[in-house]
Amino acid sequence: MKWIASTANQELQVFIDAVPSILIGLDSDTRIVRWNMKATSVFGLSGDEVIGKELADCGIQWFHPNLLEESRGWCSDKSSERSDLQFEVNGKTRLLGLTITKVHTADLAFTTLLIGSDVTDRRAQEGQVRQAQKLESVGQLAAGIAHEINTPTQYIGDNVRFLKDAFEDLCSLLASHQKLLQAAKDRTLSSEMIQEATALADRVDSGYLLEEIPKAIEQSLEGVSRVAALVGAMKEFSHPDTKEKVPVDLNHAINSTIIVSRNEWKYVADLVTDFDATLTPVACLAGEFNQVILNLIVNASHAIADVIKNGGSERGTIKVQTRNYPEWAEIRIQDSGTGIPKEYRSRIFDPFFTTKEIGKGTGQGLAITRSVIVDKHGGSIHFETEEGKGTTFIVRLPKDGKSIAEMAVAA
């Protein structure tokens, strides 16, 4: 019987070694009892070196000090996933993606199966795609941002030139009045001097200047404020990408993106906001969240532009709304555009799928949006749509680190 059991065990190991993914079996004490050839290839450790040890203390250099406690939780929790676990091999940092699956077959030597792969190269490629998509968005926004800056800059320049001329006229008028005052003091004031001063006053039109100079100053200050607001919004929007999530004021971040993208929507739609003032900061990747909001606003403006192009109303409406819920923050972006046809709805988040004309879209925007919200933030994104009426995208971001999917399973 021992020989039969040993043969079965060997056959099981052969099957495990043949699997092209990392397979690691843990017993009820979270010790390694199975270790396939792919795991040996990725981690550089043989089965003989790791069997009987805990995953957190088997010779792999992990960058997660709480991995021991976390891995013990894997053996008690339901099936789950763990993304981007950092470890080091040959002096290089790598990323591991794991699916943790409970095994209930009594005669197997393990109770938890870890199925994984080295996702370092995949993450690098995803990063390159996201960067390319971000550069594409920046390229699309560049002309609009330049226009948004140019308009207030122009009237600031016009007002400054007016103030320059006005100052020269007022200086002439002041010099004339000083001359009259001195002549009066010296008792040498003549009718010719009075006529000359009167003619200068008529030419300068001091009443007009006193009325228009405050307006020019006010307009210039307003223009400076607009430029400053746009520059500030650009800085917020281009928040450097970080690997760690930080608390973000979503209302403020969304408003900055709205300002930056104004030239995309202002000609086709009125954009209204309904921000929940009770919404507290949510931990997220700020730069990538901004990119998500930009994608959804640009898509909304394009959908409305298509309605106008086909003879619809002159302007549409984009409504951006935030809501504060106990376990998540919700963002809704609603448009009065064309709506999504039924035949396209199941593919809307597929990479490279687009209904836009050639040169107007790569089909990466919504795919990356879903990846950022679901994979990187544990959130969710879905839409409500009606052809001819418009579409609303609903984004939810978890607050306490537990993913929306986990909340749904728990419920």
**pLDDT tens for each residue of 85-97:** 888 888 888 888 8
Burial of 308 (0-12, 13-18, 19+ CB in 10 A): middle
- What integer pLDDT is reported at residue 355 of this predicted model? 61
Which amino acid, residue 311?
G
Band (19; pLDDT cuts 50, 70, 90): confident
Band (105; pLDDT cuts 50, 70, 90): low
Band (314; pLDDT cuts 50, 70, 90): confident
Rounded to whole angstroms, how far apart are CA atoms 88 and 95?
Answer: 9
> Of 60-64, 150-154, 330-334, which has the strongest mean pLDDT?
330-334
Has residue 109 got a pLDDT over 80?
no
Band (333; pLDDT cuts 50, 70, 90): very high
- Integer Rg of the chain from CA: 33
Has residue 359 got a pLDDT over 50?
no
Block residue for tokens 């004021």:
249
**pLDDT tens for each residue of 143-173:** 677 777 887 888 888 889 999 988 988 888 8
Has residue 2 got a pLDDT over 50?
no
- What integer pLDDT is reported at residue 136 of this predicted model? 62
Q: Which domains does the chain have, with CATH numbers?
A: 2-118 (3.30.450.20), 152-229 (1.20.5), 239-410 (3.30.565.10)
Rounded to whole angstroms, how far apart are CA atoms 388 and 341?
Answer: 9
User: Which of 183-187, 234-238, 311-315, 365-369 has the least mean pLDDT?
Assistant: 234-238
Rounded to whole angstroms, how far apart are CA atoms 155 and 252?
Answer: 28
- What integer pLDDT is reported at residue 1 of this predicted model? 40
Rounded to whole angstroms, how far apart are CA atoms 249 and 328?
Answer: 14
Nearest to 302 by CA among 267, 332, 278, 337: 337
Instruction: Give ∠ CA 253-126-260 in degrees, rounded to 5.
Output: 25
Rounded to whole angstroms, how far apart are CA atoms 322 and 251?
Answer: 7
Has residue 354 got a pLDDT over 80?
no
Has residue 230 got a pLDDT over 80?
no
Has residue 195 got a pLDDT over 70?
yes
- What integer pLDDT is reported at residue 317 of this predicted model? 95
